Structures are given as C-alpha cells and as structure tokens.
Amino acid sequence: MPRPLVPLPPRPSDAHKGSMGRLVLVAGSSGMAGAAALAAEASLRSGVGYAVLISPGAIAAELTAAIPSAVLKLGGGQDCGHLGLEHQSLVLKEAQEADAIALGPGLGQSADTFTLVLEVLASFPTPCVLDADGLNALASSPLELSGRFILTPHPGEAARLLGWENAKEVQANREETLLALVEKYQATVLLKGEGSLVAAPGKEVWKNETGNPGMATAGSGDVLTGILGGLLTRGMEVWEATRLAAHLHGLAGDFAAQELGEESIIASDILQFLPQAIKAYGATS
C-alpha cells in the first residue's frame, strides 16, 4: 500500500517571498483568461512565494484585474491572443529561475502554441505540470518525458494521449488507462474523475478519497494545476506533491459542497474553500 500523505512543508519563521518558491505558469489565451487566473491564484493559496504568469498581451487587463498578486509577464501586445514560438525565449528565461513550471490551462490549440509547448518541454530540468492544452500538445507529438513531469488528464485527454477513440474506454478501464499512460510517458500521472487515481514508475496506484460530483465544472482542473504547481515549488517530491494536491483539491470541493450544495459549485468556489482545506489538513497531518 502507498504510504500516507506527507505533511505540508513547514513555513519557517524567517520566510520571505524569495524563499517560498517560484512557479512559472504558462497559461491563457483570448477568451480563456479565467483558466490562467484560477491556476495562478490556486498556486498562491497553496503557499508559493512568487507566481509568474506568462500569458498573451490581449488578456493583460483581465488578468491584472483578476489576480493582482501574480507577477504578469506578457507575450506580445494587445493584438496577441495566444502564445507561440516567438515567445519561447521569454518562457525559457523565466523557467530558468523557477522551482517548478505548469503549462496548459487555457493556452488554446493553435499550431504554434503546440510548437512552443513542445520546445519548452525539452528545454529545462525543473518539475513540470502538464494540463489541458499542454496535454493536447503532447498528444500531437512522440516526445518522450521523464519522472519530473506530472500529467493531469481528464478522461477525454487521456484518450487522446493514448490514441483511443473516446473517453468511454478510459472510464470503463480507469486503472488500466492510468498504467498505460505511466508506461508510455514514464511520468507521474493523475487521472481525474470520481476517485482520481495517481501512479508513477515504480509506484503503486493510489486512489484519492476526497471530492464530489459537484466538482465536475469548467475550471476545476485549472485550480488543481495551481495547487500542484504551488506544492512543487515548496520542494515536495513529485509523487508526494501530486497525491497531496489531489487530496486538497477534493477536500476544498467537499467544503464547498457542504456550504453550497453540489449542484451550485463553480471552480471559484473550490478556490474560495482551498484555504479552509489547507488549514484543516495541516491540523490533522
């Protein structure tokens, strides 16, 4: 059996923003500023000292209003609606100073965005979370990964990564799907859904016990990406950070359901209750 979840990393009495980790989040495109904002705020609520958000210039005003606590780095001007290969130097410059990087929420599926993602994946050694359009970019390429990567697919994304026809096969064989993804990519995989599953090379399958159907809402996965990115910057090992992120994400959703009911939960509610979930977990770990 996998060992119990580890405690949250302690916050030293002499902590400062520079000592609490630096996450680079590559996210957002025209019409998808919300995904970037949710992920960035979730990382900050998870304790990261710096959340550097790299997004296209067209959504700068939306992001500044939505998440003023993040450090915003813009690709292009107001007419730039998505990130592309011309922004590679910006991403790599920021990634070199990062403790972890997360790619994908709301990035869009332009061909040059996919090219950017694939170039970045091969260019730096830090832990990396791949979600949403980051996973769609990966599915378009034979790129090989390693143990520093964490893939967080929902069933549809898992099917695309494996070249399967649709998500029904994934849902009918969730553990087999998870292990197939681990085998193909040699990375840690968090397969989202009822009882989210986590596995990694050399690790037994772990099932998350928190969460509820009300969390099946747009943006929920962006919050998870932010939580995981935040934990990684605190120096947590990839396997431990991934399991704890799934647990905290589900626990925040459970607190939201207790207060609001499952039918009315939206992603920002999960984010709203994340501090309560972290506080409750810290009191029991």
pLDDT of residue 198: 99
- How far is residue 260's CA from residue 215's CA, in Å, rounded to a whole number? 12
Residue 3 has pLDDT above 70, yes or no: no
Sorted by where each begins, the domain ranges of the chain are 21-284
Residue pLDDT, tens place only, 101-146? 999 999 999 999 999 999 999 888 899 999 999 999 999 998 889 8
User: Could you tell me which of 201, 227, 207 has the C-alpha nearest to residue 147?
Assistant: 201
Give tens-digit pLDDT for 76-102: 999 999 999 999 999 999 999 999 999
Over the chain, what is the mean pLDDT?
A: 96
The CATH superfamily assigned to 21-284 is: Ribokinase (3.40.1190.20)
Report whether pLDDT(1) > 70: no
Residue 162 to residue 16: CA distance in whole angstroms? 43
Please state, in angstroms and rounded to a whole number, the distance separating the CA atoms of residues 77 and 252.
Answer: 36
Tell me the mean pLDDT in the region 159-166. 94
